[in-house]
Amino acid sequence: MERRLCLITGASAGIGAEFARQYAALGWDVALTARRADRLETLAAELEEKHKVTAIVIAEDLAKKSAPAKILAALEEKGRHVDALVNNAGYGLPGTFFSTSWKEQGDFIQVLYTAPLELCHRVLPGMAERGYGRIINVASLAGYAAGSAGHTLYASVKAGLIKFSESLNAECQTLGHDDIHCTALCPGFTWSEFHDANGTREQTDKMPKWMWMAAEPVVRQGIEAVNRGQPVIVPGLVNKGMATLSRIVPEPLGRAMVRGQSRRFRKME
């Protein structure tokens, strides 16, 4: 019998690579997509050797509007369909809204918001036809916090993913698709290359170690949450506490707290 297939964006490193490892360990075939083909090939070889699954590599840049359709067309050519989708691709855009170009901001929105939503829209009909589907949108604890100076669109995009995931999960249940679940995974600070890529490693290395989580438990909790139909999951006790605090602290105080901490982990130039 053909194994189920999980499509993972941003699979070349960090949380995306960990999703690939955990789904492969569960016996799923995986489709890995990111810009860096060499890293994907290395990961694919590892998974096929260790778990005896099929790992499909599709090198695409989600900043290109044609990428979502091309990724799914490549799978269709191989006779495969998507049973689980992990929208993980993302990055931080250093600097302020004033200092960055609209091209940079537009690409950011395309990769972190538009492309994930398009992939969801494209895979959902097949999931509904087969009566099964799992979608994990990797959002962020930042989606709960007040907006901050620098990395201006990051929190708003992640907040949008949270609300979209809640709505889509509710929609699936309302329409009778009881085994199609959508979850927003909202990690806090997670050990990965994310902060190296956006130039904030120096700032984040000064933060207390207790604020950080490894990718493995973050991903595990995301998979467990989507399987039980939980629309939003904040992994880790510290992160859960911070998410709760963001809801109960008066908004002016919350904004002041974020403003005071922004320069510790935001690169303004």
Position 19 scores a pLDDT of 98
* Lookup: tokens for 198: 């956006």
Position 264 scores a pLDDT of 54
Q: Which is nearest to 231 in space by CA: 139, 94, 145, 155?
A: 139
Out of 23, 113, 144, 154, the active site residue is: 154
Q: Which residues contact 236 (CB under 8 A, 6 or more apart)?
A: 187, 188, 213, 217, 218, 221
Is 154 annotated as catalytic?
Answer: yes
Q: What is the pTM of this model?
A: 0.86
d(C-alpha 134, C-alpha 47), whole Å: 21
Position 212 scores a pLDDT of 60
Q: What CATH architecture is 5-265?
A: 3-Layer(aba) Sandwich (3.40)
Give the pLDDT means over successive 10-residue stretches in the chain (269 positions): 90 96 98 96 98 98 98 97 98 90 97 98 98 97 78 92 98 96 92 50 54 87 98 87 69 55 53
Q: Where are the domains of the chain?
A: 5-265
pLDDT tens-digit profile of 152-163?
A: 899 999 999 999
Q: What is the dihedral of CA 203, 10, 190, 195, to 10 degrees?
A: -10
Q: Which residues contact 122 (CB under 8 A, 6 or more apart)?
A: 68, 69, 72
Position 198 scores a pLDDT of 45
Dihedrals phi, psi of 35, to nearest 5 degrees: -80, -30
- Whether residue 134 contacts residue 184, with contact meaning beta carbons closer than 8 Å, is answered with no
What is the 3 state secondary structure string of the chain? Answer: CCCCEEEEECCCCHHHHHHHHHHHHCCCEEEEEECCHHHHHHHHHHHHHHHCCCEEEEECCCCCCCHHHHHHHHHHHCCCCCCEEEECCCCCCCCCCCCCCHHHHHHHHHHHHHHHHHHHHHHHHHHHHHCCEEEEEECCHHHCCCCCCCCCCHHHHHHHHHHHHHHHHHHHHHCCCCCEEEEEECCCEECCCHHHHCCCHHHHCCCCHHHEECHHHHHHHHHHHHHCCCCEECCCHHHHHHHHHHHHCCHHHHHHHHHHHHHHHCCCC
* Lookup: tokens for 5: 């297939």
Q: Which is nearest to 219 in space by CA: 255, 187, 196, 194?
A: 187
